[in-house]
Structure 1
Amino acid sequence: MSEIIHLYHTNDVHSHFENWPRIAHFLQKRKNLHQETGEDTLLLDIGDHVDRWHPYTEGTLGKGNVCLLNDSGYQYVTIGNNEGITLPYEALSSLYDQATFKVLVANLYNENRIRPDWAHPYFIHTTNHGTKIALIGITAYFQKFYVTLGWHLNEPFDELKKQLQDIHNQADLVVVLSHLGIHDDERMAAEFPEVDVILGAHTHHVLHQGRMIGNTLLCGAGKYGQFVGHVEVKLDAKKRIINKAARLYDTNELEEAPNEEQWIESLNNAGRLELEEEVVTLTESIENNWFQPSPLSKLLCESLKEWTTADCAILNAGLLLEALPKGPVTKGDIHRICPHPINPCVIELNGAELKEILLQSRDVEWPHILLKGLGFRGKIMGIMVYEGIDFVKNEDGLIKKVMINGNELHSDQKYKLAIPDMFTFGRFFPQIQRTEAKEYFMPEFLRDLLGWKLVKNNLGQ
Structure 2
Amino acid sequence: MEQLHIIHTNDLHSHFENFPRIARYIKQQRLLDQQQQRQTFLFDIGDASDRVHPLTEATMAQANIEWMNQQHYDAATIGNSEGLYYNHSILEHMYDHANFPIILDNLYEKNDNLPAFVQQSKIFTTKVGTKIGLLGLTAPYMLTYPLLDWNIKLVQYVLPALIKKLRPRVDILILLSHLGINTDRYLCQKYPQLDLIIGGHSHHLLPKGELHATTLLTAAQKYGHYIGNIYLTVNNHQVQSTTAHTIETTTIPEQVEDKQIIANYQNQGENLLKSRLVAHLPYQLDASSTGAHPAINTALKAIEWATNTPAAMLSTGLFLTDLTAGVITENDLHQQLPHAIHLMKTTLSGREFWRLMMEVTKNRNFLRNFPQKGMGFRGKIFGDLVLDGVVINEATRQVFYQGQELIPDKEYSIALLDHYLFIPFFPTLQIVGDNQLIYPDFLRTTFAKYLALKYPLKAGEKNGSK
Partner residue, 1:246: 244
One of 417, 421, 437 as aligned partner of 1:420: 417
Partner residue, 2:454: 457
Matches of 1:459 and 1:389 in 2, distance apart? 29
The reply to whether residue 14 of structure 1 matches residue 13 of structure 2 is yes
Superposed CA offset, 1:284-334 (max 9, x none): 211111233411011111111220113422111111101111221001111
Partner SS state of residue 244, structure 1: strand
The reply to whether residue 338 of structure 1 matches residue 337 of structure 2 is yes
Which residue type is aligned with residue 97 of structure 1? Answer: D
Unaligned runs of 5+ in 2: 459-466
Unaligned runs of 5+ in 1: none
Partner residue, 1:433: 430
One of 234, 259, 262 as aligned partner of 1:261: 259
Matches of 1:446 and 1:187 in 2, distance apart? 36
Which residue type is aligned with residue 106 of structure 2? Answer: N
Partner residue, 2:461: none
Which residue type is aligned with residue 190 of structure 1? Answer: Q
Superposed CA offset, 1:41-96 (max 9, x none): 11111000110010000000111110010011111100000000110111101100
- Report the more deviating stretch, 451-460 or 54-63: 451-460
Matches of 1:411 and 1:213 in 2, distance apart? 54
Alignment of 1:33-44 (within 5 A): 33-44=32-43
Partner residue, 1:361: 360
Cα offset, 1:257, TM superposition: 4.3
Partner SS state of residue 143, structure 2: helix
Partner residue, 1:72: 71
Partner residue, 2:100: 101
Question: Is residue 291–residue 367 contact of structure 1 (8 Å, CA) maintained in 2?
Answer: no
Which residue type is aligned with residue 260 of structure 2? Answer: Q
Superposed CA offset, 1:88-119 (max 9, x none): 11110110000000100111111111101210
- Report the more deviating stretch, 251-260 or 164-173: 251-260
Matches of 2:254 and 2:135 in 1, distance apart? 33
Matches of 2:346 and 2:169 in 1, distance apart? 48
Partner SS state of residue 108, structure 2: strand
Partner SS state of residue 397, structure 2: strand
Question: Is residue 207–residue 246 contact of structure 2 (8 Å, CA) maintained in 1?
Answer: yes
Partner SS state of residue 93, structure 2: helix
The alignment's TM-score, normalised by the length of structure 1, stands at 0.96
Partner SS state of residue 443, structure 1: strand
Question: Is residue 132–residue 174 contact of structure 2 (8 Å, CA) maintained in 1?
Answer: yes
Superposed CA offset, 1:211-235 (max 9, x none): 1122111111111100000011111
- Report the more deviating stretch, 218-227 or 421-430: 421-430
Partner SS state of residue 210, structure 1: strand
Matches of 2:425 and 2:85 in 1, distance apart? 22
Cα offset, 1:433, TM superposition: 2.3
Matches of 2:392 and 2:68 in 1, distance apart? 52
Count of residue pairs the alignment pairs up = 455
Partner SS state of residue 374, structure 1: coil
The alignment's TM-score, normalised by the length of structure 2, stands at 0.95
- Report the more deviating stretch, 64-73 or 404-413: 404-413
Partner residue, 1:164: 163
Matches of 1:209 and 1:66 in 2, distance apart? 29
Which residue type is aligned with residue 83 of structure 1? Answer: E
Partner residue, 1:375: 376
Alignment of 1:295-310 (within 5 A): 295-310=294-309
Partner SS state of residue 206, structure 2: coil
One of 268, 271, 274 as aligned partner of 1:270: 268
Question: Is residue 357–residue 392 contact of structure 2 (8 Å, CA) maintained in 1?
Answer: no
Alignment of 1:190-229 (within 5 A): 190-229=189-228
Which residue type is aligned with residue 268 of structure 2? Answer: A
- Root-mean-square deviation (CA, aligned residues, Å) is 1.4
Matches of 1:436 and 1:450 in 2, distance apart? 24
| Percent of matched pairs sharing the same residue | 32
Matches of 1:293 and 1:190 in 2, distance apart? 56
Matches of 1:301 and 1:246 in 2, distance apart? 50
Question: Is residue 345–residue 418 contact of structure 1 (8 Å, CA) maintained in 2?
Answer: yes
Question: Is residue 193–residue 215 contact of structure 1 (8 Å, CA) maintained in 2?
Answer: yes
Partner SS state of residue 444, structure 1: strand
Matches of 2:160 and 2:449 in 1, distance apart? 45
Superposed CA offset, 1:15-45 (max 9, x none): 1110011001100110111122221111111
The reply to whether residue 150 of structure 1 matches residue 149 of structure 2 is yes
Cα offset, 1:459, TM superposition: 6.6
Which residue type is aligned with residue 383 of structure 1? Answer: D
Question: Is residue 322–residue 336 contact of structure 2 (8 Å, CA) maintained in 1?
Answer: yes
- Report the more deviating stretch, 379-388 or 176-185: 379-388
Matches of 1:92 and 1:292 in 2, distance apart? 41
Which residue type is aligned with residue 101 of structure 2? Answer: K
Which residue type is aligned with residue 350 of structure 2? Answer: G
Cα offset, 1:423, TM superposition: 0.9
Matches of 1:143 and 1:240 in 2, distance apart? 38
Partner residue, 1:392: 393
Question: Is residue 290–residue 317 contact of structure 1 (8 Å, CA) maintained in 2?
Answer: yes
The reply to whether residue 285 of structure 1 matches residue 247 of structure 2 is no
Which residue type is aligned with residue 102 of structure 2? Answer: V
